[in-house]
Structure 1
Amino acid sequence: MLTIRKGVTNIGFYKTAFGAVENWRLNNDDGTLHVAELLIDGAMFHLHEMMPTSPEKISPDAFNTSTVTIGLFTADVHSVFNQAIAAGAIVLSPVTDYEYGYRRGELKDPFGHHWVIQCQIPASPDWKY
């Protein structure tokens, strides 16, 4: 579950950036989001507004940083990463190939959550575990 600040109406970032599909949504009386269920490549997660009665549901805004990092594995890291940036994400570290066999880039979504977009690649023959 990813917690977002109260008052959010537009969660289109996840659809545009990651091709998320919205299964259902429950809005508050004023039209703002209370909770939504989304799928990214079959992986289900919820977006839920921050609630004063649930202290565990704290949005990144409360700390000015994310309290979690979501790892999204995909076959085309560059494409998904660039799509997320075009949708409004902020680059935390560019896509880089690492000698331990991963290609990955880090970004922050418009709600403050950190994402690692990554895939496994063949490790360098010089790399020793």
Structure 2
Amino acid sequence: MIAVPTLIGEVSIRLFVRHGDQQKALDFYENVFGAKVVGYPYLHNGELIAAELRMGASVIMIVGANPKRDADASLGGPRSVHAIGATPVMLDIHVDDVDRVMHHAVAEGGSLRNEVETLDSGDRAGVLTDPFGHLWVVKSQRKHLAA
């Protein structure tokens, strides 16, 4: 029998952005999704290279991609979405008002990939491409009415 490891901490996701876009990404996620910087930002020679954000119960790290790796795929990843030209990942985020959040995200530089719609479950969802190329499925749960 194979021993299954026990998860002892939270899972953190790293979103790579073009080198130099780290602060813009932090500002976007704070303004649109209410993310909060946790801990200390990672600096190199006084320049911001990465920072951890708490978004609800999740931790997301925003990291500036190494410009050499972005320019030369043979060096291996990770690379920014802009260097690759697409992303194979969709991030789901649950918010209190999907229509308001999507409208605000577009005003802040994001773009709609899929308009907000009501799903068969009654939940509402839309897909946003943020200014850094990452795809977000933005959802609001239906309001449960008291019987």
With normalisation by structure 1, the TM-score equals: 0.81
Task: Return the letter of the residue paired with 2:15.
Answer: L
Partner Cα separation in structure 2 for residue 40 and residue 5 of structure 1:
21
Report the alpha carbon displacement of residue 14 of structure 1 after superposing the two structures with TM: 0.7
Residue among 58, 75, 87 paired with 1:43: 58
Matches within 5 A, 1:1-129: 1-8=14-21, 9-10=23-24, 11-23=26-38, 24-29=40-45, 31=47, 33-51=48-66, 52=69, 55-121=76-142
CA contact (8 A) 1:4 1:60 kept: yes
Task: Return the letter of the residue paired with 1:93.
Answer: N
Tell me, which stretches of 5 or more residues in structure 2 are unaligned? 1-13, 70-74
Partner Cα separation in structure 2 for residue 55 and residue 34 of structure 1:
19
Backbone CA RMSD of aligned residues: 2.2
With normalisation by structure 2, the TM-score equals: 0.72
Greater relative CO, 1 or 2 (CA 8 Å, sep 6+): 1
Report the alpha carbon displacement of residue 2 of structure 1 after superposing the two structures with TM: 0.5
Partner Cα separation in structure 1 for residue 100 and residue 76 of structure 2:
36
Partner Cα separation in structure 2 for residue 22 and residue 13 of structure 1:
12
Task: Return the letter of the residue paired with 2:62.
Answer: L
In our comparison, the structure showing a higher alpha carbon Rg is 2
SS of 2:29 mapped into structure 1: helix
Partner Cα separation in structure 2 for residue 102 and residue 15 of structure 1:
24
Task: Return the letter of the residue paired with 1:85.
Answer: V
Give the helix-richer structure, 1 or 2.
2
